[in-house]
Amino acid sequence: MTTVKKTDSTSLDEARARAENLRTAIAYHNDRYNNLDSPEISDAEFDQLVRDLRQLETDFPDLIDETSPTQSVGATPGATFEAVRHRVPMTSLDNAMDSSELGAWGDRVARGLGGAEATFVCELKIDGLAMSLRYENGVMVQAATRGDGRVGEDVTPNVATVAAIPKTLPPGSPDVLEVRGEIYMPLASFEALNARAAAAGTQRFVNPRNAGAGSLRQKDPAVTASRELSFWSYQLGEVVGGPEFTSHHETLEYLRSLGFPVNPNIRQMATRDEVESYCFHWRDSRHELPYEIDGVVVKVDSLAQRETLGFTSKAPRWAIAFKFPPEERNTILRNIQVSVGRTGRATPFAVLEPVFVGGSTVSMATLHNQDQVRIKDVRPGDTVVVRKAGDVIPEVVGPVLSLRLPDSVPWEFPTTCSCPLQSTFLRVEGEADTRCVEPECPFQRDQRIIHFASRGGMDIEGMGERTVFALADKGLVRDYAGLYSLTVDDLLTLEGFGQISATNLFNAIQGSKDRPLPRLLVGLGIKNLGPSAAEALARAFGTLDAIIGASHADLATTEGVGGVIADKVVNWFSDPAHREIIERLRAGGVEFGNVVVSRLAQNLAGKAIVVTGGLEGFNREEAEAAIKDRGGKSPGSVSAKTFAVVVGNEPGASKLTKAEALGIPILDEAGFRFVLETGGLPPGSGESTGDAGDVPPSAE
């Protein structure tokens, strides 16, 4: 989208026509988002429409109209529920999209206060539905949506099913108390809801926000109750007969004392630099939370200073929403193709009209498997929602059905592999995956070599996908054992390789020969055999030959292995073709018995210690190795069986929250060193010592 600015070539009439088009589009998408819970464009695209209109009205002041979306809040309430007029308007917030816009807001605040110092309160911007709760004489009598800021919808019976919301208040509560906050759907509830939809063969929900909003607009409150919604309170509205406050953080403490859930990550900030650090911290750590956020809300703390700053026509001047980069965008699905992996697994993926989402341009996204394509019912030509969260592989969430082309037809999974052998795809009953079962399939061959050379396997630097494809196309390798027969002259035949690059890759291949046995086991590509089980086998048997010669019972009884993995290991090594590869690896000089055996006391045997955040004396790999060298385990998640959680700089908030909920001891680096030395907890650490919401000093 482009912004129309006042230039010699842009007339007022042209600008007025453009403004009307923008207002029509904004009203349409506002209604689909707020009333129908079925948006056709992403939040980022909607925000851009509003920003374009605001810029146009700035460049052409004659276009400003009090009915413009830039002068109003939300959307006109629908007709499904009774209308509720807010006694105190529920305003929206202006947005800051980057640090410069956040700084500009800070400058405006400073000017509005005549240069007086201000402190701030920073809150996570929950991706849910704004809600007003009204209590009279200590009893909840009404719950209403924001609507257009003046009039919302009465959803009291549905909100009454949300367990996190108090239905009555303690004695001595105000005669009238209006509490504002956000109703949201936790990620665990969202995943469970979509799992039920998948089991029933019905349409999956696109995201937790839409699922939560749709749950609140059910005519049957029992349906709302089944969706397991939750609530964070963050503001007072109308109060009659309550205490006097001087600051926002005092009101939050008051809400907490009355039993309302207040987010533990809310922080007071003394300076604008601290505010910016908080915003960037949660931009990078948003996926560690058990719910979705799409930004940070920054508010002036002093209520007196808020009075001084006042409001614009639609938003307070004393608050701003710092929006994170969008993780969902809409684009066109050009085609659906199928890739074949090293085990023959056939994975459908979407070929997309390139779109910038989650910090990068995405042109392909996973569709997981045949069932997911059927359940999501995405089709070539559809406008689809694409999601990329952090480092997670981009995925197509679902289609925008209201924009589907009239001649659209469901996509059918192919029956044969697209490799030159054209082998038939097979799906075993009871399994989700469709597979190419032809072992000579060149797609599988290439992916097995790529996996073998990857960082998790033999870690051959420079042996990327493009190089593997080039080697296979020239017939220089037919499996990963063939890598150790390559010469510098062979590599020089590849396009783009000169003497230096060919020599470097040759040396990298030779240097991989003495990788530890667990890496070799992972590189072989045995199904279900991951790094942990590979390490367990290496420690238990010492050499690859010993593992090959071990009985099924011996393998299965190895701690961390079990019967399923033992089956796969025995079957893999029983295949004559695999044994031939093993002998060629041996002939190529690959080390079969490189096992590092710890001579340290096994004082952590049977204990699981989770490490979250950065430690001064250990990087992540060193901390995990220190635990494993003493017989312990270092899983990536907290459970009731976790012995302790070690917390460093910028820890994962969800791990801390779960540890506190389960009563798991929380240790700092000194406590971690005590555990490594003694195998026991340091004195006084029987209870958790951290705050699940703490932002580390480096982030504040």
pLDDT tens per residue across span 197-246:
878 877 777 788 888 888 887 878 888 888 889 999 999 999 999 999 99
Residues 350 and 365 sit within 8 Å (Cβ to Cβ): yes
pLDDT at site 690 = 37
Q: Is the pLDDT of residue 307 over 60?
A: yes
How confident is the model over 321-326, as a mean pLDDT? 87
pLDDT at site 700 = 27
How confident is the model over 248-267, as a mean pLDDT? 96
Residue 183 lies in a domain: yes
DSSP 3-state of 583: helix
Specify the DSSP element, H or E, that contains 153: strand 151-153
pLDDT tens figures, 164-204 = 999 999 999 999 999 999 999 999 899 888 888 878 877 77
Same domain for 22 and 138, yes or no, is: no
Q: Is the pLDDT of residue 44 over 90?
A: no
Same domain for 334 and 319, yes or no, is: no
Same domain for 245 and 143, yes or no, is: yes
Same domain for 336 and 319, yes or no, is: no
Same domain for 202 and 184, yes or no, is: yes
Same domain for 267 and 122, yes or no, is: yes
pLDDT tens figures, 632-652 = 888 878 888 899 999 887 777
Confidence band of 287 (pLDDT split at 50, 70, 90)? confident
Residue 332 lies in a domain: yes
| CATH number (domain holding residue 58) | 1.10.287.610
Confidence band of 698 (pLDDT split at 50, 70, 90)? very low
DSSP 3-state of 321: strand
Confidence band of 414 (pLDDT split at 50, 70, 90)? very high
Q: List the single range of 52-56, 281-285, 375-379, 381-385 with lowest mean pLDDT.
A: 52-56
Q: List the single range of 150-164, 437-451, 650-664 with lowest mean pLDDT.
A: 650-664
Residue 519 lies in a domain: no
pLDDT at site 697 = 30
Q: Which domain holds residue 684?
A: 608-699
Tell me how far CA of residue 245 lies from CA of 48, 181, 236, 254, in angstroms.
37, 19, 11, 9
The answer to whether residue 125 is catalytic is yes
Same domain for 225 and 200, yes or no, is: yes
Q: Is the pLDDT of residue 416 over 60?
A: yes
Tell me how far CA of residue 591 lies from CA of 400, 512, 515, 517, 523, in angstroms.
54, 9, 7, 8, 13
Residue 204 lies in a domain: yes
Residues 357 and 390 sit within 8 Å (Cβ to Cβ): no
DSSP alpha helix (H) spans, 480-588? 488-492, 499-511, 517-523, 531-541, 544-549, 552-556, 562-574, 576-587
Q: Is the pLDDT of residue 22 over 90?
A: no
| CATH number (domain holding residue 139) | 3.30.470.30
pLDDT at site 689 = 37
What is the pTM assigned to this prediction?
A: 0.56
Q: How many domains does the chain have?
A: 4
Residue 403 lies in a domain: yes
Q: Identify the domain boundary among 323, 353, 385.
A: 323
| CATH number (domain holding residue 372) | 2.40.50.140
How confident is the model over 373-380, as a mean pLDDT? 90
How confident is the model over 319-343, as a mean pLDDT? 90
Residue from 387, 378, 327 nearest 203 by CA: 378
pLDDT tens figures, 498-517 = 999 999 999 999 999 999 99
Same domain for 152 and 37, yes or no, is: no
Residue 338 lies in a domain: yes
| 608-647 as b/e: b if 16+ CB within 10 A | bbbbbbbbeebeeeebbebbbbbbbbbeeebeeebbbbbb
Same domain for 32 and 140, yes or no, is: no
Q: Is the pLDDT of residue 618 over 80?
A: yes
| CATH number (domain holding residue 621) | 3.40.50.10190
Q: Identify the domain boundary among 46, 71, 96.
A: 71
Average pLDDT, the chain: 87
Tell me how far CA of residue 519 lies from CA of 507, 525, 690, in angstroms.
18, 10, 36
Same domain for 60 and 98, yes or no, is: no
In terms of residues, how long is the chain?
A: 700
φ, ψ for residue 458, nearest 5 deg: -85, -5
Residue 475 lies in a domain: no
Same domain for 45 and 93, yes or no, is: no
Q: Is the pLDDT of residue 606 over 90?
A: no
How confident is the model over 103-120, as a mean pLDDT? 95
Q: Identify the domain boundary among 24, 48, 71.
A: 71
Residue 572 lies in a domain: no
Confidence band of 699 (pLDDT split at 50, 70, 90)? very low
Q: Is the pLDDT of residue 7 over 50?
A: no
Same domain for 300 and 183, yes or no, is: yes
Integer Cα distance of 228 and 614 in angstroms: 34
- Out of 125, 299, 323, 376, the active site residue is 125
